[in-house]
Structure 1
Amino acid sequence: MVQYLTLVFPAVTLVCLFMFFRYYLKVTQPLAGTTEWITRIVNKPKFTLLHRRHPMERRDILPVIVITLIYAAVAFFKLGNLTAPQSFFRFTDEKSSVTVKLAQPVDIGKIMYYSGLWVGYYTLEFSGDGANWEEQLPAEGKEHSMNQPHSDLFKWLYANINSDNTATQYIRITASRKPMELGELAIYDKNGVLIPPDAISCSDAPQLFDEQHEIPDKPTYMTNMYFDEIYHGRTAYEHLNNIAPYETTHPPLGKLIISIGIGLFGMVPFGWRFMGTLFGVLMLPILYIFLKNMFGKTVIAACGTVLFAFDFMHYVQTRIATIDTYGVFFILVSYFFMYRYITRDPEEAFNKSLPSLALAGLFFGIGCACKWIVIYAGAGLLALYIVRLIWCYKYYKDNEISGFGGFFVSTLVCTFTFFIVIPSIVYCLSYIPNGLAAGMEISEGMLWDPRFYQLILNNQTFMFGYHAKLEATHSYSSVWWQWITNGRPILYYLESWDGLRSSFASFGNPVVWWGGFLAILSMVYQVFKFRDSKAFFILVGYLAQFVPWLIITR
């Protein structure tokens, strides 16, 4: 029964949505026989950008607040632990190993450890007297006993002990590379009993046993990084601590935003996920205002925002410390201000339209500094901008208004400033932490130093080459048409414990995605049948983000 429910529920919901919008379209049509109805029948519809931008009203306050707060409560629920080991021992050339002494000999079963920065492995050696040492051999299938690869940073990990260490009183841990950081150790005997910290001494590295209350019963997503957090969350921490960033295949700003959460809450799961979830919550009121501006109906704004709040991918993606959320957020905001710009009356004072155009360019630039997918949105914004210029030319001509040449030149100058100059400045400023980590100083003129801009240029070359040549195939890869149909969700997290399984997958809500695709098809019809500029706007935004992926084969 349950297996059929997953198909019946979206199908029934889609039918209900269809009936709702069918009713809405019917009641918004002019009554038969009226002057407006006759005009629509006789006259061929004309494409126009002159639309009223409907303001928010008092009746909008309650639904937007309720929807946002309910979603926020769900989004932040069990986002991640608020605590994790914060003191790390750093292995260096001067101190490449530490020795742990137990109060009495123990038959050791396993060691759980919390990994920190930098990759490598640790050699484990055991001794009963502190003089004669036996190296722990790795478990079958493992290269080393205590591994710390790039995919396992800021995680609780296990090292199972194979040797017969019935008389172990000393443990020596040696790092394969320097520097490497280790956050905490938990030592268990063969019966799985945790050896208490008062039975352990480690004068070499007291940081390894000073937060034993953080040891989890079992590691989960609540305690560990997962999926691409190992890149973006780690790099955010590095930016915060003036360390050369590990992840440089995307611009820095998204990681810098993540670092705000880490700065507020510490290098803990809640901290590195906080900003992404907050931005995911903030998308809801922005979308509500956008829909209200465009359609003027509270019920439409509320319905659209609720559908977005129930999208599975939005929920999952914004609860993970990756940079995609920020790109989508700034795309949404830049399109909102572009809509406000292109729907302005061409006869109104020129300077009144500039704030909307400037904000569209600013948020476009901020988005580009987070992730290059925003450049695709730039193509859509450019298309809308060009259509507006062409429409304004026809408007001036049809209404015999002079001065289009001056309007055209002034608009181009402002657009160049807002969409080229300002985004370029924002983009370069986002590299300040990279410059600081490279040894430059703002007080010493870093922003005027050619080396700073060479660093930026080198990273652009590296990013382009990386993405152009990347062949990242995996078992959850999918092609573009599967995105529409949810044909191949991507698995983000999977753990099994005692016969139980915990997993996260990212895919769209069928109601939103299937219904949304049908809505896009209807937009095509609206554009060609009724010359509907609102439908055109939506269609351009959709295609700008979707079409580029049709030519990317990886």
Structure 2
Amino acid sequence: MNEDPTREAESEHSHSSYDEIGVAVGDGKPVPSKSQVASTAMATATHIALDKLSTVRAREAFLRDRLRLPHPTPTPPMLWFGLAVVTIFAAVARLWRLGHPTSLVFDETYYVKDAYSLLHQGYAGTWNENPNDAFAAGDTSYLQEKAAFVVHPDVGKWLIAIGIRLFGVDSSFGWRITVAIAGIISVWLIGRIAARLFRSTTVAITAAALLAMDGIHIVETRIALLDGFLMLFALFGFWALLRDRDDSRARLARRIAEEPSRLNDPWGPALWWRPWLVVAGVFLGLATGVKWSGLYMLAAAGLAALAWDIAARRAVGARLWIGAGVFRGGLPAFVNLVPVAGLVYLASWFSWFASSSGYYRTWAQGLRDGGNDVPRGWLPDVLNNLWEYHAAMYRFHVSLHSDHTYQSNPFGWLIQLRPTSFFWETSPGANCGLSSGECAQAITALGNPAIWWPAALGLLVVLWAAIARRDWRAWAILVGYFGLYVPWLIFSDRTIFTFYTIAFVPFVCLTWVFALGYLTGHVRHLPPLPYAREDGTIVQPWAPGVITPSYAIPELAGPVVLEEIEREEAAEIDGIAPGERPYDEPLPRRLTRSARITWGVAVGIVGLVFVFFYPIWTAMEVPKWFWRAHMWLGSMWI
């Protein structure tokens, strides 16, 4: 996840990372002329350049540019308005006829009944044979006190239980309302994430609209499965990771600007308190509490934080930047992220701890009562019981190899090669206005082809930008793939399904907008950064002939708050709204007419495919021939 920070000794510049954060900085006070650099022979070029800048404001401005921290500007009103409209559209698409079908659909037979059991017993109980029809009618007498062996943690089922509590056990709308809300929130959130990544209102609204119109996302946020909650919590964790990246870099720049002698320590200052990583730990702990696959996203987030810390240390001029990134950045990141996630996950088992009847709850005591040795006897019984329960869950998951009609290989997920049929029902043709033939109702977990197929090709653009151009935004998108898709390739021989892809469909949408935006100019290429020569002279490579930028000139570096200067600079760009300022280029560049048309046509095609497929995502009653017209890949989609 290299961001290619400046190679100081060779006076080279790079494509480091940046993003939006509004921080007022700088007191403008001059510093003593006496050099603060411990040894010119040992100092990096950036360190020498900082020593020559005469104010805190000037030094911080230089470091923020080196770290690609953007100029703070207000959020454009059009972004708020556009995301509000798209979110309302997503809500309508998910809430309309949410209670249909009124029966338990696919794996709802497990999760909805477990949710009710948690609500009334505190643990998942077993059910008498064939309870589904009675349960849907509100008859819960089939529930037994005997504990059931369930193989996923409880967070998602507790969230389903909220809807059951509010609307009643006989309300199919109530079973599904919380996952629908999770889907609606995720549409708004991906828009905010895209705005933070790409600094474009158009791209941000488009990313949200794509997620709102994707079939996998629609289907699984209209059915009470767990994966929609996993998707939302993983996305919130990713958002917090991006916020930490900006916040930690801004604080690093501030500390060094206030006291450049901190770089006399070859590792630079430590940042032990990382509040946004704590937030990420909370959300990723909840994601793991929905399904264990959240652990992979936690690992990917931790590695991303480490890589970005190493790159940041190099960019600000730390001599031993690898050690600095590992011990002054990575170790605090681990402390703020991983233990928090672990504690949140452990707390998510609260009802199991509170109960004496949950599965494996008295396992250790039972062995002891039978005169048998208790493995890990050094652990308190309650933790030992939970350990053994987790061991049993793990054994179940790794040994799941039973054949299923709709199982799919994860190598085909990116092109939605084998979708999952959640619901299928036929009826006489008169029900859908036919004089003969049959009507059909289907819920098919199939992604919007106009999103998934271009995104599969767009992933090549993302990989190229990440590796060849060292674009940090491309690496950020790949964090989602590494954390939520790639691990499944290891388990391709297991019984797994395409509908698991909802966990990373937000990153598929980000790939779509990044790839098309990169090719059309909607997503600006990252330019070279200002860098320092060996003598400390600051060079602005994107402005030919400009050796010394304004913040390096003493008379222009007076006691002015940096945020105010940046707002004034943004306002001076003619014809560009503050929130649309092209931070990655020194001068505004208009999109060509063909680029705007290409973008509009591509989004329009997504919309047309959404309209065409929506009936078979939502169990609308249609002629059977109409349903068959959607099976573009023949038997692979049936």
Q: TM-score, normalised by structure 2?
A: 0.53
Q: Identify if the C-alpha distance between structure 1 residues 383 and 240 changes in structure 2 by more than 3 Å, giving closer, same or farther.
A: same
CA contact (8 A) 2:274 2:336 kept: no
Q: Identify if the C-alpha distance between structure 1 residues 72 and 353 changes in structure 2 by more than 3 Å, giving closer, same or farther.
A: farther
- The correspondence of residues 456-475 of structure 1 with structure 2, limited to 5 A, is 456-475=386-405
User: Is 1:497 paired with 2:427?
Assistant: yes
Q: 1:281 aligns with which of 184, 197, 204?
A: 184
CA contact (8 A) 1:231 1:247 kept: no
User: Is 1:484 paired with 2:387?
Assistant: no
* 1:385-406 Cα deviation digits (max 9, x unpaired): 221232133234x366x99978
Q: Identify if the C-alpha distance between structure 1 residues 369 and 308 changes in structure 2 by more than 3 Å, giving closer, same or farther.
A: same
Structure 1, 348-357 or 425-434: larger mean CA deviation: 348-357
Q: Identify if the C-alpha distance between structure 1 residues 528 and 414 changes in structure 2 by more than 3 Å, giving closer, same or farther.
A: closer
* 1:264-320 Cα deviation digits (max 9, x unpaired): 111121111111000000001111111111111110101111111111000001111
Higher strand share: 1
Tell me, what secondary structure is at the counterpart of 2:297?
helix
CA distance, structure 1, for counterparts of residue 441 and residue 185 of structure 2: 28
Displacement after TM superposition at 1:493 (Å): 0.6
Displacement after TM superposition at 1:508 (Å): 0.9
Amino acid at match of 1:331: A
Q: Identify if the C-alpha distance between structure 1 residues 331 and 488 changes in structure 2 by more than 3 Å, giving closer, same or farther.
A: same
CA distance, structure 2, for counterparts of residue 265 and residue 470 of structure 1: 35
CA distance, structure 2, for counterparts of residue 403 and residue 546 of structure 1: 31
Give unmatched runs, 5+ long, in structure 1.
1-41, 81-220, 441-448
Q: 1:511 aligns with which of 450, 457, 471?
A: 450
* Residue of structure 2 in register with 1:262 after alignment: 164
* Residue of structure 2 in register with 1:234 after alignment: 113
* Residue of structure 2 in register with 1:548 after alignment: 487
CA contact (8 A) 1:45 1:530 kept: no
Larger radius of gyration: 1
* Residue of structure 2 in register with 1:528 after alignment: 467
* Residue of structure 2 in register with 1:359 after alignment: 279
Displacement after TM superposition at 1:455 (Å): 3.2
CA distance, structure 2, for counterparts of residue 410 and residue 43 of structure 1: 24
* Residue of structure 1 in register with 2:477 after alignment: 538
* Residue of structure 1 in register with 2:335 after alignment: 417
CA contact (8 A) 2:216 2:448 kept: yes
Q: 1:71 aligns with which of 73, 78, 90?
A: 90
Tell me, what secondary structure is at the counterpart of 1:339?
helix
Q: Which gives a bigger RCO, structure 1 or 2 (Cα 8 Å, sep 6+)?
A: 2
Tell me, what secondary structure is at the counterpart of 2:461?
helix
Displacement after TM superposition at 1:419 (Å): 2.5
Q: Identify if the C-alpha distance between structure 1 residues 57 and 351 changes in structure 2 by more than 3 Å, giving closer, same or farther.
A: farther
CA distance, structure 1, for counterparts of residue 82 and residue 17 of structure 2: 31
CA contact (8 A) 2:306 2:330 kept: no
Displacement after TM superposition at 1:234 (Å): 0.7
CA distance, structure 2, for counterparts of residue 475 and residue 410 of structure 1: 51
CA contact (8 A) 1:232 1:323 kept: yes
CA distance, structure 2, for counterparts of residue 490 and residue 407 of structure 1: 44
Tell me, what secondary structure is at the counterpart of 2:239?
helix
CA contact (8 A) 1:56 1:292 kept: no
CA distance, structure 2, for counterparts of residue 420 and residue 399 of structure 1: 26
CA distance, structure 1, for counterparts of residue 482 and residue 123 of structure 2: 37
* Residue of structure 2 in register with 1:453 after alignment: 383
Tell me, what secondary structure is at the counterpart of 1:224?
coil
Tell me, what secondary structure is at the counterpart of 1:467?
helix
CA distance, structure 1, for counterparts of residue 219 and residue 333 of structure 2: 36
* 1:152-181 Cα deviation digits (max 9, x unpaired): xxxxxxxxxxxxxxxxxxxxxxxxxxxxxx
CA distance, structure 2, for counterparts of residue 472 and residue 335 of structure 1: 34
Amino acid at match of 1:458: E
Displacement after TM superposition at 1:374 (Å): 1.1
Q: 1:331 aligns with which of 228, 234, 257?
A: 234
CA contact (8 A) 1:250 1:372 kept: yes
Q: 1:347 aligns with which of 240, 250, 253?
A: 253
CA contact (8 A) 1:56 1:293 kept: no
Give unmatched runs, 5+ long, in structure 2.
1-10, 19-66, 125-147, 256-269, 359-378, 429-437, 495-638
Q: Identify if the C-alpha distance between structure 1 residues 309 and 247 changes in structure 2 by more than 3 Å, giving closer, same or farther.
A: farther
CA distance, structure 2, for counterparts of residue 508 and residue 460 of structure 1: 33
Q: Identify if the C-alpha distance between structure 1 residues 523 and 315 changes in structure 2 by more than 3 Å, giving closer, same or farther.
A: same
CA contact (8 A) 2:422 2:443 kept: yes
Structure 1, 359-368 or 381-390: larger mean CA deviation: 381-390
Displacement after TM superposition at 1:527 (Å): 2.0
CA distance, structure 2, for counterparts of residue 528 and residue 316 of structure 1: 35
* 1:490-523 Cα deviation digits (max 9, x unpaired): 1001122334321111011111111212221101
Displacement after TM superposition at 1:340 (Å): 2.0
Q: TM-score, normalised by structure 1?
A: 0.61
Q: Identify if the C-alpha distance between structure 1 residues 549 and 280 changes in structure 2 by more than 3 Å, giving closer, same or farther.
A: same
CA distance, structure 2, for counterparts of residue 291 and residue 372 of structure 1: 27
Tell me, what secondary structure is at the counterpart of 2:401?
coil
* Residue of structure 1 in register with 2:563 after alignment: none
CA contact (8 A) 1:232 1:247 kept: no
CA distance, structure 1, for counterparts of residue 457 and residue 275 of structure 2: 35
Aligned residues: percent identity? 26
CA contact (8 A) 1:365 1:419 kept: no
CA distance, structure 2, for counterparts of residue 43 and residue 408 of structure 1: 23
CA distance, structure 1, for counterparts of residue 400 and residue 446 of structure 2: 23
- The correspondence of residues 116-515 of structure 1 with structure 2, limited to 5 A, is 221-242=100-121, 244-245=123-124, 246=148, 248-267=150-169, 268-343=171-246, 344-345=249-250, 346-349=252-255, 354-396=274-316, 398=317, 409=327, 411-412=329-330, 414-439=332-357, 450-498=380-428, 499-515=438-454
CA distance, structure 2, for counterparts of residue 321 and residue 357 of structure 1: 30
CA distance, structure 2, for counterparts of residue 414 and residue 43 of structure 1: 29
* Residue of structure 2 in register with 1:51 after alignment: 68
Q: Identify if the C-alpha distance between structure 1 residues 65 and 353 changes in structure 2 by more than 3 Å, giving closer, same or farther.
A: farther
Tell me, what secondary structure is at the counterpart of 2:485?
helix
CA distance, structure 1, for counterparts of residue 488 and residue 322 of structure 2: 37
Tell me, what secondary structure is at the counterpart of 2:403?
coil
Tell me, what secondary structure is at the counterpart of 1:463?
helix
CA contact (8 A) 2:214 2:448 kept: yes
CA distance, structure 2, for counterparts of residue 351 and residue 62 of structure 1: 37
CA contact (8 A) 1:362 1:418 kept: no
Tell me, what secondary structure is at the counterpart of 2:152?
coil
Superposed CA RMSD in Å reads: 2.6
